[in-house]
Structure 1
């Protein structure tokens, strides 16, 4: 019975409104007090039913909720035969609840829009070679799927045949279609705008990037910040205090109407709902803009960031370096390049890829043993020779003598902004390569936006040589630049800044520098939807889009400010109502409930402004 009554709240609200109109029509239209009183009594009784049920459920778990205050107030009004106010208060409370739920649902529109993008069917290649339409749940990893123009990509996968342009806005927030050809990755929920492709299913169901994004946004929207937890604790004691105040007023004044009016005016509804609605709207805006904010605590901390530390490769730069300069020392260069290429094939470092691309086709050798020296390079054994490939620090560790010409070349290469890759065989330097990366387009402008948002320190930490790092810092106007940094040294730098009472964010690729991402107050991953990026950081900039970073910071600041605004609105309205009750004669229970519900709508609408937030152009 209780469940049925609660499910009919909207219908009860409509019936209450009709009865109230009927009552006033009977009084002023037909001068029938019987119609007036009976209509308002019935409106009060049916209106208070769902409110009383919710109050009972709250009391059962030892919580004095807003519903308890309103229920007592309505019953009190009925007892003193103030039917007009009892009916109007119940209607306003129910109507306010309806509007609250409706507007709150809008703030969760990001989740709804995402889930609606999730595909339900796919064309799967069957045993006879033909494609058959199947339910999305019937797809397994390794299945071959056909995607036609206008269709949604059903799973995370790899293109095996065909080509086309895909709208990846559901993943990255960027609506410009991306070209996809053989061996390119595609993501569930994105849309093939033209072309026909066949893909191999790599991740299905909830394991897809799309599924993980929905899960993370849902978790984030359900999380609570310190401000929300404080308000929850405050409300736990505040609501009983209002009840006690009303009782004390009745004891001393013997004015039951004044006492129950205090119960209505003191309802903390806007205070309870104001912060969560800001939090949900802010996270929803981020989800639609290619920014994953993992909870309201992240919003609070990120909004206070004054120092942002960047990894260089793949963050400030594109992460696709090329060999710009090279020098050879000694004989047998062809054999040396074969050794170098064989060693670099054992590495997935961006510099290794650049070296292999430059060398091209060459003789391959069997690598017998490899040892990765963190932050320095790699050592391997090939045909009985000890091959060392890495930076100057590795050469020193291996006690490789550097000829005078090599030292001059190293200085020149560094001044030209190159990352250095040196190759030594059996302790003798053979090859020096200078590799350059390109700064991401628009990074300089976006860094200026971060400064405009109040970030005081912009720092780059890199394992690269100091000359290269200095050139990047100079071009971008960074505050500090530190090269030759090992992962543990980057983490130590962040810890040092935190001890100086700086709030530090670290921006990396989500794969390397995990100690720094974990240690920073806010870890920000430049992740093209990778599992590691999504799992290890507080904020994920989808598609590695650096321009999302200023938007993310501006959004968190706007969200934090919005929360404060809502708290001031809620507290201010309660104080205004109580002051009006004490120092004026026009305030009554009905007006108080009307203002109370309006204050809830004001904080909700104020929070919903965040859904349309965009960083102002400077």
Structure 2
């Protein structure tokens, strides 16, 4: 509501001087110069009053902005009878603020689209039928029907054989994603295929999409440090402007030259170029799955020199996967996996669930186990297709088949061995590990190209595990067996060498994320605490999007700086020309406002930033 009122005020402040300018021109060509001057004068007054009110508010907050120059130029022009110059400045000033409103609205359109897509109800299986219920009524374990075109209302696991979802609103992926039974479906994605069933794993308020919406709302209320820096520049620019205007008047005795200098110096849209460029950068980053919580973090992101990465769930996938199946007595490897996965369907242990997922990925048809007994933390015993199957740790299985433990393949540091026995005989071992994310080497190389000088690993895991996992990545340092406070200390130590970015996904990473210049959370599967503490959230479980986010931030900042340097340089050149008598106040007003509009349009280029990797993918 407040934003709508502000937009209406900006529209009115533009229409009023435009009407005054046009009516004055009509009177001027009708030979009524006196009435034309009055029309122009009246058209300036509302804009000047609104501008003075805004300046007083800024001064009350202890801020000195470049709008003072615009107020001086309009006041001086009216004082010395240059009403046409004054109305031109008023039109262009109000036009600049209107353009700012338009630019921010355009830049945030994707964010508003995200908010508008929040589903209000869901279709729930209940009492043998389907019922439309409010999202708040959904409980963990509820079975939902996601119809074609529906937005997935809560995080859940796919209970149908297959589902196709469109995640473009969250991640920028252009093609639908295929999800198999048991796969996680992220709230906010859209069903792009046939209806499928979803088992809720989070309630609505805790789901990914609800969290993203909250983060978006935070991101819409920020002011960039660069914008504040532009305000600090305003004192120097104001001093230069007054000095040139005073010198022109002093040495020529012509006050009109001073008016022309002030009019040329009017930088009203110039101070909008920085926030326009950075807000546009926020929009582009969100489009590619990188939610930055404000223009401040985006500007800081563009200056990062050191990157600190957590290991589990960040550098690695965070979910154990089968890297080797070791067979005893030449039993078929798929058969070993079938027995283990069929029995592990009855267990909720993460390793058991990983084994089941691996079997389904190989399209193995899993039988329903019976007489299952699970010993928590050790293993599972049960029957599968008439065979007695034992799955668990080496000691657990060895004790039950009368074999000495330790007779197994040597796994790499950090790997987990799962022993499998069938009908009292050792069948084999499943070697589980948490592998590096796909494409991590290319991602790190890309970050180096983006100017990241140091890349470190910070993990609570053992040193030998960290060294094995990161072998060949060319990291600048590995810090292992760290507690959360030690991670914070590492971040603070590295901050002495320049801006630091910390990337993590767990609750234990949250303090370090908050301590870093820019904290980045893996939002798709990471802990809520890390997402709350972070400045940036990756909306999709792909760390390679970090490179896209940094590239967008740097290009948006570059465009903002480009706008500042070009605008101020051209303004100073125009002031000198006006002081030497080459520009009248009206000509100076038109020239300067043309410069300012060009600068704003240049800032809007940030709306079309496309990271290089995305461009390569489209070719």
Please indicate, yes or no, whether the TM-score normalized by the shorter chain is above 0.5: yes
Is the counterpart of residue 453 in structure 1 residue 457 in structure 2?
no
Is the counterpart of residue 546 in structure 1 residue 543 in structure 2?
yes
Residues 321 and 358 in structure 2, CA contact (< 8 A), matched pair in contact too: no
Residues 315 and 526 in structure 1, CA contact (< 8 A), matched pair in contact too: yes
Q: Which secondary structure state, in structure 2, belongs to the residue aligned with residue 213 of structure 1?
A: helix
Instruction: Tell me which residue corresponds to 1:15.
Output: 19
CA separation of 1:520 and 1:449: change in aligned 2, threshold 3 A: same
Instruction: Tell me which residue corresponds to 1:230.
Output: 229
Per-residue deviation, 1:55: 2.0
Instruction: Tell me which residue corresponds to 1:296.
Output: 295
* Equivalent residues, number: 552
Distance 2:177 2:7 in 1: 50
Residues 230 and 271 in structure 2, CA contact (< 8 A), matched pair in contact too: yes
Residues 152 and 191 in structure 1, CA contact (< 8 A), matched pair in contact too: yes
Distance 2:205 2:21 in 1: 45
Question: What root-mean-square deviation, in Å, do the aligned CA atoms of Structure 1 and Structure 2 show?
Answer: 4.7
Residues 158 and 196 in structure 2, CA contact (< 8 A), matched pair in contact too: yes
Distance 2:7 2:102 in 1: 20
Per-residue deviation, 1:53: 3.2
Structure-to-structure mapping, 1:216-295, within 5 angstroms: 216-235=215-234, 255-295=254-294
Distance 1:538 1:47 in 2: 43
Q: Which secondary structure state, in structure 1, belongs to the residue aligned with residue 559 of structure 2?
A: helix
Per-residue deviation, 1:284: 1.1
Moved more, 83-92 or 273-282: 83-92
Structure-to-structure mapping, 1:30-41, within 5 angstroms: 32-34=30-32, 36-41=33-38
CA separation of 1:595 and 1:96: change in aligned 2, threshold 3 A: farther
CA separation of 1:199 and 1:327: change in aligned 2, threshold 3 A: closer
Instruction: Tell me which residue corresponds to 2:111.
Output: 111
Residues 70 and 268 in structure 2, CA contact (< 8 A), matched pair in contact too: no
Residues 165 and 194 in structure 1, CA contact (< 8 A), matched pair in contact too: yes
Q: Choose which of 595, 598, 607 in structure 2 pairs with 1:599.
A: 595
Is the counterpart of residue 413 in structure 1 residue 417 in structure 2?
no
CA separation of 1:82 and 1:306: change in aligned 2, threshold 3 A: closer
Distance 1:4 1:148 in 2: 40
Instruction: Tell me which residue corresponds to 1:179.
Output: 178
Structure-to-structure mapping, 1:110-189, within 5 angstroms: 110-119=110-119, 122-123=122-123, 129-132=129-132, 139-142=136-139, 145-157=144-156, 159=158, 163-180=162-179, 184-189=183-188
Per-residue deviation, 1:242: 5.4
Per-residue deviation, 1:488: 4.9
Per-residue deviation, 1:185: 4.1
Q: Choose which of 562, 582, 588 in structure 1 pairs with 2:579.
A: 582
Moved more, 262-271 or 490-499: 490-499
Structure-to-structure mapping, 1:79-98, within 5 angstroms: 79-98=79-98
CA separation of 1:483 and 1:362: change in aligned 2, threshold 3 A: farther
Residues 223 and 296 in structure 2, CA contact (< 8 A), matched pair in contact too: yes
CA separation of 1:112 and 1:483: change in aligned 2, threshold 3 A: closer
Distance 2:293 2:547 in 1: 17
Residues 245 and 259 in structure 2, CA contact (< 8 A), matched pair in contact too: yes
Distance 1:13 1:307 in 2: 51
Residues 246 and 260 in structure 1, CA contact (< 8 A), matched pair in contact too: yes
Residues 97 and 269 in structure 2, CA contact (< 8 A), matched pair in contact too: no
Per-residue deviation, 1:257: 2.4
CA separation of 1:611 and 1:218: change in aligned 2, threshold 3 A: farther
Distance 1:614 1:6 in 2: 31
CA separation of 1:114 and 1:541: change in aligned 2, threshold 3 A: same
Q: Choose which of 515, 519, 526 in structure 1 pairs with 2:522.
A: 526
Structure 1, unmatched stretches of 5+, are 27-31, 329-337, 371-377, 379-388, 392-404, 424-430
CA separation of 1:6 and 1:542: change in aligned 2, threshold 3 A: closer
Is the counterpart of residue 435 in structure 1 residue 439 in structure 2?
no
CA separation of 1:128 and 1:561: change in aligned 2, threshold 3 A: same
Per-residue deviation, 1:215: 3.4
1:394-429 CA deviation, whole Å, 9 max, x = no partner?
xxxxxxxxxxx96x989x533xx6625699xxxxxx
Per-residue deviation, 1:357: 8.8
Per-residue deviation, 1:496: 7.8
Distance 2:464 2:261 in 1: 70
Residues 411 and 417 in structure 2, CA contact (< 8 A), matched pair in contact too: no
Distance 1:62 1:515 in 2: 37
Distance 1:168 1:4 in 2: 35
Instruction: Tell me which residue corresponds to 2:313.
Output: 314
Distance 2:82 2:14 in 1: 24
Moved more, 71-80 or 304-313: 71-80
Moved more, 181-190 or 123-132: 123-132
Residues 187 and 209 in structure 2, CA contact (< 8 A), matched pair in contact too: yes
Distance 1:20 1:202 in 2: 67
Per-residue deviation, 1:453: 1.6
Distance 1:3 1:227 in 2: 24
Residues 107 and 611 in structure 1, CA contact (< 8 A), matched pair in contact too: yes
Instruction: Tell me which residue corresponds to 2:534.
Output: 537
Moved more, 454-463 or 65-74: 65-74
1:499-558 CA deviation, whole Å, 9 max, x = no partner?
662544333334454454344443322331653442232222222112212111212222
Distance 2:158 2:416 in 1: 35
Residues 172 and 289 in structure 1, CA contact (< 8 A), matched pair in contact too: yes
Structure 2, unmatched stretches of 5+, are 1-5, 329-339, 360-368, 379-391, 395-404, 420-427
Distance 2:130 2:327 in 1: 56
Is the counterpart of residue 562 in structure 1 residue 559 in structure 2?
yes
Per-residue deviation, 1:345: 7.3
CA separation of 1:39 and 1:214: change in aligned 2, threshold 3 A: farther
Distance 2:325 2:8 in 1: 77
Instruction: Tell me which residue corresponds to 2:46.
Output: 49
1:442-481 CA deviation, whole Å, 9 max, x = no partner?
2222222112222233334455565554444334x32346
Distance 1:434 1:86 in 2: 78
CA separation of 1:95 and 1:60: change in aligned 2, threshold 3 A: closer
Per-residue deviation, 1:196: 1.1
Residues 507 and 529 in structure 2, CA contact (< 8 A), matched pair in contact too: yes
Per-residue deviation, 1:576: 1.5
Residues 308 and 458 in structure 2, CA contact (< 8 A), matched pair in contact too: yes
